[in-house]
Copies of this chain bind each other. A is one copy, B any other.
Amino acid sequence: MTLEILTAETLTDNIQKQVSELYRQLNADNKQRPLREILQPDNNVQVLVCFIDNEVVATALLSTYKVISGYRGMVDDVVVDTAQRGKGIGRKLMERLLEEGKILGLDEIFLFTGHHRSPAIALYKSLGFNLRQSGLYHLRLD
């Protein structure tokens, strides 16, 4: 198992294809943004991928931006292949993203996850994340 932060240079059509298939396990209906857009230098997002035998088995993304409240990270698109769950891959991805966040000098990291996703919530809490007494509100523009 290897973890790798993708770049525009290391991205291949094969990786894109595998990430797209994997992402459908998280959301089969959602239109996906292509990795070449995400890896543009002006988009401050770390794309972390886990490979086993040269196959993409998991992803996790860390977006960063500065607002008055602090230098923020947001974790999104955390997916572990259903066939690879229970092996601690999600924890390894998250630990790596927290390391990256520290290197970048982030003040804080946020993420949101469905109230029904018990294993994910247990993982995040074990890493020190706390549930905020806030609601998450969403508006589609397209």
Cβ–Cβ contact A141 & B98, under 8 A = yes
CA distance A61 to B67 in the complex (A): 7
**Structural contact, A140 and B107, CB atoms closer than 8 A:** yes
- With the chains together, A101 CA to B140 CA distance in Å? 10
Which residue from chain B places its CB closest to the CB of A130 in the assembled complex? B138
Docked Cα-Cα span, A111 to B45, in Å, equals 19
Residues of A64-85 contacting chain B, CB below 8 A:
65-72, 74, 76-77
Let me know if B141 and A131 touch, CB within 8 A.
no
Is A19 in the interface zone, CB < 8 Å from B?
yes
Specify which chain B residues have a CB less than 8 angstroms from the CB of A31 in the assembled complex. 70, 107
Residue in B38, B121, B133, B142 whose CB lies within 8 Å of A107: B142
